[in-house]
Structure 1
Amino acid sequence: MKKWSVTIVAIILICIVGFLLSFFNNLSSDRTNQDEEEIAEDAIELTFWRNFGNQAENKAYEELVAAFEAAHPNIVINMQAIQFGDYELRLRTELAVGNHPDIMAIDSPNLALYVNAGYLLPLDPYMREVGIIDDIAEATLNGIRFQDEIYLAPIVESSIALFYNKHLFEEAGVPFPSEDPDQPMTWEEVLEIAQIITNPDEEVFGIDPAQGFGDGEAPAYFKMPLLWQFGASVLSPDGTTASGYLDSKEAIEALQFYQDLYHKHGVAAVELPSEPFESNKLAMTVLGSWQLKELQNNYPDFRLGEDFGVAPLPKAMYQVVPNGGWSFGLSSKTNYPDEAWVFIEYITSYEGMKKYAEYTGDIPPRYSVARDFPELNEYPRNIFVHQAQTYSKNRPVTPAYGVVSDAIKTLFEDVGIGGKDVEASAKEAVEKINTGLEEVQRP
């Protein structure tokens, strides 16, 4: 009887202990869930809109957002990636109807349009406080500054260079160009080489001078430097007119040289064979810094050093390359400007930019980051970096930039594809741009 009594008591005690443990565990779990709910309720949600990039870019952003949220548990980033071709129109449409993301990615040439519409807060005070400005090249700063204030924080910089097909050079007995970023060929030297190599009967052409004839921003980005190299400008220094600039003697000379490549010398073709550079049908082409990785990924059998090389962008009177890339702006309508800046500061910081560059291979706009990447200081990436930091120029910062970009695209199509009179074509472009400038200047 005694043994059974002890057993029963033990069982009762075990049940009581089990009940108490279960009770306190449930209580602890309830408190944890409650704490998590309170944290979620107290967290600040920031909307971040950007363009949908390639696989490497998207992965970089995902990693940066995840790392930021881990370091800032009270801030949630609602990142929305919109297809590249739709991004600008979608962003402007949403802003116009009052749907403002807290943070938005902006292609730097479009800066003035957003500032002029009142959509952006200046970042000048924030950037000066943390000392970012001194780590960015002046040419890059000029592209993110409007009316003496900085409005964007850059994540990526860009440049273009001359890519040449080694097989075609060797077959023609032409020496390879210099790899020194301070020693580019002149456009006249490029023309001479192109004349030697061009063979229309075999569909072999010497040069694609500026990425053919595409859509979007590419025509302005790739073709505007030719005007600068000949000493021309698109707009007056104060950005109020194109008269006397895009139709100047220097601009006409640049446009005539470009047209002659197609219609007088026949070393460039409006319609090229499929994949001409990779299939030994095109001796020289102008490509962007980001296209090194694309060639590596898409054409693994067409190798740098073995099949093609890279040289600095050719020059005329001046050595000039384009710059500009995606940057981040702070919405004027955000309820959390300081918190939104914390996110922008994080992804454009030394560590954030380094991580982005590691994934994408793009040029970082900060000196310190570029300096600490060995591959950016070696051929061929050193060409792009050095050009961007030393010889680059940004496209005009004006609220009418959309009109400017379209006018440049049409102008080069008219003289390149259509073979139209360069002076008449330049005059038409000037009139189009001046009309656009007048519209944005009206009260």
Structure 2
Amino acid sequence: MKRKAALFLSMILVLSTIFTGCGGKGDPDSEVKENMSDVEQSTETRQEAGTEESVQSSDTTLQEPVTIRFAWWGSQARNDQTQAVVEAFEATYPWITVECEFVGWADYWDNLSTQIAGGDMPDILQHDYRYLETYVNKGLLEPLDSYVGKQINLDDVDESSLSGGKVNGQLYGIPLGMNTFAVEYDQTTFEKYGVQIPDNSWTYDDFVDICRQFKEQGIYGCDLTNFEDWVLYYIRTKGASLYSQDGEGLGYEDDSIMEELFQMRLDLVKEGLLPTPDVANQASGTEDSLIVRKEAAMVTYWSNATAAVANATDNVIKCLPMFGPNADKGTYIKPSMFAAISATTKHKEECAMLIDFMTNNLDANEIMMGERGVPISSAIREALKPKLSETEQAIFDLLDYSQTHSSPIDKPDPEGAGEVVTLLQELEEQVLYEQITPAQAAASFRSEATDILTN
């Protein structure tokens, strides 16, 4: 009798577990049906985009609850979109809870360093090309190759799109989008002042001429941003690179290249075509930049930032490739940012599932609409095309153009690249305030950058 009673109680407990699930809220039958409905709808959505669900449990109620932390940087628009994507992911995989951590770019890496030092690194994190190799060399990131074909489906992704996320032949970052360094412009402002929008073959002289036309109207031609990206681009137009591609140190020999760059920026600021640093630094981020304030007609950002600028203004914002000469040599397609997994997380598979969701789920990509860059999945790109806004279409068109008007990307930035960028910014500001000459800045940059990179 005791054995029969024990068996009877065990059966009741099993049935209770099946019907109550992880949450134990509301009508058990209704909750199970809703969860399964969400799963089926997500699977149908992905099949519409030409993909299949890489990971799917036959019964979500049997999964153990898991919580993962996801950290990213970006604009407020990106934050809002990502929160919506996370909610959709949690609805599809109700046993996974995602805790979100969001700050701006300026604070992101300092915050991350503090968390790592305290043994509190996020489980999944947005990562950047500049720091990927550094984090890999420190053993902080999980190789993702073993998750491909299981939790992460990359069937619709070209191998070329993944190369930027590889270090020493292993995949450590899945691009959340692809982009290129570009000139964002305010089409409404161009039309208002009767300034002709250039075509994709424009040159630096065209850029200066357009800036002068806007100066006559009382606004800046372009905002003062991203000097380091001008440097990376411009040196490539000369057939060299900022960092050595086969050793340590810098990748160019002729300091006149850097001197010319410093002089170029100084001339633009002195003529009033670009703002001085004190004016530019008043902006608190992309959504507060001079182009959003309608105090500048153009700004140089990475192409995916076009969406953030457009979201912050009622004007029509579009983008152009960087000006020449030799634009095809200077231009390159870059992972806008990566999704990476902490080497120390206890929930690697769940993190990989979130990466797959952001890569392949059509609903998720309809929320983001290329804000992190043009999606790497060809099936998702094709599915999104009919739904793109005017600005989003311009971003996609620019990436299509750049695919055939660019050169291969340089290898990931070496350790110390962050310090080199800070040095560049400091020297540029000294040049723009005429505290040092462009020639002195170029010489100082070689000396100090070489010391950073070799030590």
Q: TM-score, normalised by structure 2?
A: 0.71
Equivalent-residue separation in structure 2 for 1:278 and 1:177 (angstroms): 21
**Structure 1 segment 325-344 matched on structure 2, within 5 A:** 325-344=336-355
Unpaired segments of 5 or more residues in structure 1?
1-26
Structure 2 counterpart of 1:78, from 98, 101, 124: 98
Structure 2 counterpart of 1:261, from 261, 268, 273: 268
CA 361–404 in structure 1, closer or farther in 2 if over 3 Å, else same? closer
Equivalent-residue separation in structure 2 for 1:172 and 1:55 (angstroms): 30
Show CA shifts across 1:79-138 (max 9, x none): 231322432212222222322333222233211121111101211343367662872473
Structure 2 counterpart of 1:145, from 160, 166, 169: 166
Equivalent-residue separation in structure 2 for 1:42 and 1:193 (angstroms): 60
Unpaired segments of 5 or more residues in structure 2?
1-11, 25-59, 283-288
CA 353–418 in structure 1, closer or farther in 2 if over 3 Å, else same? farther
Equivalent-residue separation in structure 2 for 1:362 and 1:368 (angstroms): 15
8 Å CA contact 2:133–2:412 kept in 1: the answer is no
* 2:325 counterpart SS class: coil
**Structure 1 segment 8-157 matched on structure 2, within 5 A:** 31=16, 36=22, 43-51=64-72, 53-73=74-94, 75-84=95-104, 85-127=106-148, 132=154, 135-136=157-158, 138=160, 140-157=161-178
Show CA shifts across 1:173-202 (max 9, x none): 754312xxxx33011222234345544xx7
**Structure 1 segment 169-248 matched on structure 2, within 5 A:** 175-178=196-199, 183-195=200-212, 197-199=214-216, 203-205=218-220, 207-208=221-222, 211-212=223-224, 218-221=226-229, 223-242=231-250, 244-245=252-253, 247-248=254-255
CA 96–262 in structure 1, closer or farther in 2 if over 3 Å, else same? same
Are 1:435 and 2:451 matched, yes or no? Answer: yes
* 1:329 counterpart SS class: strand
Show CA shifts across 1:369-400 (max 9, x none): 22332238985233432256443746842222
Structure 1 counterpart of 2:442, from 399, 408, 426: 426
Equivalent-residue separation in structure 2 for 1:333 and 1:134 (angstroms): 29
* 1:373 counterpart SS class: helix
Equivalence for 2:422: 406
Equivalence for 1:286: 300
* 2:244 counterpart SS class: coil
* 1:435 counterpart SS class: helix
Are 1:312 and 2:298 matched, yes or no? Answer: no
Q: CA deviation at 1:43?
A: 1.5
Percent identity over the alignment is: 20
CA 132–404 in structure 1, closer or farther in 2 if over 3 Å, else same? farther
* 1:410 counterpart SS class: helix
Equivalent-residue separation in structure 1 for 2:219 and 2:111 (angstroms): 41
* 1:325 counterpart SS class: strand
Q: CA deviation at 1:63?
A: 3.6
Equivalence for 2:54: none
* 1:121 counterpart SS class: coil
* 1:112 counterpart SS class: helix
Letter paired with 1:229:
T
Aligned residues: 392
Equivalent-residue separation in structure 2 for 1:142 and 1:150 (angstroms): 8
CA 40–135 in structure 1, closer or farther in 2 if over 3 Å, else same? closer
**Structure 1 segment 384-403 matched on structure 2, within 5 A:** 384-386=398-400, 389-390=403-404, 391=406, 393=409, 396-403=412-419
Letter paired with 1:416:
L
* 1:192 counterpart SS class: helix
CA 60–286 in structure 1, closer or farther in 2 if over 3 Å, else same? closer
Q: CA deviation at 1:360?
A: 4.4
8 Å CA contact 2:255–2:443 kept in 1: the answer is no
